[in-house]
Structure 1
Amino acid sequence: MEKPQKTPPAYAIASVDHALRLATIMQLEGNLTVAEAAERLGVARSTAHRLLQMLVYRDFAVQHPGRQYGAGPVLELAEHSRSATSLLRSAALPHMELLVQAVGESANLTIRTGIEARFIVSVESAQVLRVGSREGMVFPAHRLSGGLLLLAELSADELGQAYESRSDADVTDQPDLPKLRTELARIHKQGFAVNQGRSERGVVAVGVPVRDANGKALAGLSVSIPSVRYDRQQLPSLVATLRMAADRIEADLAH
């Protein structure tokens, strides 16, 4: 049976098409320069530069020394099972919406691949001063509460291998591993993580793990709070509320 031809959308957006083509080229073919990108797309170099900078901002690309651009963390995270991520997102979303209503702050769900963590779901609070959506964005795992929770599941050897497998050029934000191991041991023991301004100045995030039926941590569930509104005295209550939401997500995943 002959495969039907694709029909371009009636209102195609050239800039979106160009950005997607560049992302595909970098993922499948490797690094390229601004000049090469401009030539492949048939656009001016200034246009190609703006497209690449936007891909860098959204973590679809990274800029290497020597004026080359390559596939970024979002494209590298494609190895994470799409079906597993979709299931996790579907199970978590309604409980995250209830969590936001309960605490009045924005909520996020984070997964980890290697030494990087990605927000796969964000639900914003209704407050005027709030932490905005981080959905789709990628950060070094040790900079996020969810990332710290997931790194804390690794053994000392696994943690070392995760960082040693990446060259210094690939890891631009290399943590102090002995110090990180000590922190992760504490996080694993207490069952929650607090991130005060690590990923963004003026933001505090508190998170707990979401586990599967076998006890394996699948993701980090967190709330993000403007630091001016964070009250350390409310931490136990906040952790308890997060834990209840995580329990409900785990129950839905089990069924």
Structure 2
Amino acid sequence: MTTGDGEAAERPSGVQSIDRAVAILTAFSRARPVVGISELAKHTGLSRGTTHRLVSALASHGMLAQVPGSSAYSLGPRLLGLSEAARDQLSLDVQARPVMTWLRDQTDETVGLHILDAAPSRRTIAQVESLQALRRTYTDLGAAKPPHQGAPGKVLLAHAPADVIDAVLARLPGADVRLADELARVRADGYAISLEERVRGVVAVAVPVRDHTGSVSAALSVSIPAVRAGRDELVALTPTVRKAAATLSARLGHAD
């Protein structure tokens, strides 16, 4: 026997109830912070009655909250505590290490993790070194470096806000047009390559890492002694580096 809208009349299983509750919670977003029962039912494909029962249950646990003076709902206060616990475990330093180790093992080269600070400067915040005798080693972890130099810096700068890019270009008279064109290529290609640009004898490829907002929050790089690789070898590595970056982005909450 089925209801008029095709849903099973019998009480849904525990797993099905969880699936439906998750569907309701994910109907909320920054663009849609307040949603009514009818809209939730339409978004999830559930009947209005089923939606109302699930919303009431979620509200009783603090996962949803009825907006004062309205029949609509917003996400509830209990999610704040859960989000803080999640944030602690979704931080770059916690999530990056196993991904960086995997990438090091796949390439047998040194892997670096880089961020852009407010200056803006590029900072290398972590590395997993190659096990080869001749290898790239970051001896200046945390030190500020020019954001326009090296593959990781170009990836971060290419995806920075326009005013940040303009400020950097303004500091480089005579090179601003060339750099602007290079950053546009990095955005189009999805990666950057450095051939002994910042450190003599070292070449590198870098790709962006995105967080739960979709913003580029870091760059992941593979650095190699120039005697072992050139442009062709770096380009050949990009699918593997991108795979690692996609894994790390997913760990940070990014969804394609």
Same fold at TM > 0.5: yes
Amino acid at match of 1:87: S
Equivalent residue number for residue 54 of structure 1: none
Equivalent residue number for residue 225 of structure 2: 226
Displacement after TM superposition at 1:139 (Å): 1.1
1:140 equivalenced with 2:139 (yes/no): no
Equivalent residue number for residue 178 of structure 2: 179
Does structure 2 retain, via aligned residues, the 8 Å contact 1:156–1:181?
no
1:89 equivalenced with 2:89 (yes/no): no
Does structure 1 retain, via aligned residues, the 8 Å contact 2:150–2:197?
yes
1:153 equivalenced with 2:159 (yes/no): yes
Amino acid at match of 1:160: D
Q: Distance in 2 between matches of 1:186 and 1:209?
A: 14
Equivalent residue number for residue 131 of structure 2: 126
1:199 equivalenced with 2:198 (yes/no): yes
Amino acid at match of 1:101: D
What TM-score comes out, normalization by structure 2 length?
Answer: 0.59
Q: Deviations over 1:107-151 (max 9, x none)?
A: 101101233100011111100000013422321011121110111
Does structure 1 retain, via aligned residues, the 8 Å contact 2:194–2:204?
yes
Of stretches 146-155 and 94-103 in structure 1, the one that deviates more from structure 2 is: 146-155
Q: Distance in 1 between matches of 2:193 and 2:234?
A: 9
Does structure 2 retain, via aligned residues, the 8 Å contact 1:145–1:205?
yes
Displacement after TM superposition at 1:157 (Å): 4.7
Q: Measured at CA, do residues 185 and 243 of structure 1 come closer, stay the same or move farther in structure 2, by a change above 3 Å?
A: same
Does structure 1 retain, via aligned residues, the 8 Å contact 2:111–2:127?
yes
Amino acid at match of 1:99: L
Does structure 2 retain, via aligned residues, the 8 Å contact 1:123–1:133?
no
Q: Distance in 2 between matches of 1:220 and 1:125?
A: 18
Amino acid at match of 1:117: R
Q: Where do residues 1-255 of structure 1 align in structure 2 (5 Å cutoff)?
A: 87-113=91-117, 114-134=119-139, 135-154=141-160, 157-162=163-168, 164=170, 176-254=175-253
Does structure 1 retain, via aligned residues, the 8 Å contact 2:156–2:219?
yes
Equivalent residue number for residue 4 of structure 1: none
- Give the number of the structure whose alpha-carbon radius of gyration is greater: 2
In structure 2, runs of 5+ residues without a counterpart are: 1-86
Q: Distance in 2 between matches of 1:232 and 1:98?
A: 23
Equivalent residue number for residue 59 of structure 1: none
In structure 1, runs of 5+ residues without a counterpart are: 1-82, 165-170
- Count residues with an aligned counterpart: 166
Name the Cα RMSD after superposition.
Answer: 2.5
Does structure 1 retain, via aligned residues, the 8 Å contact 2:208–2:219?
yes
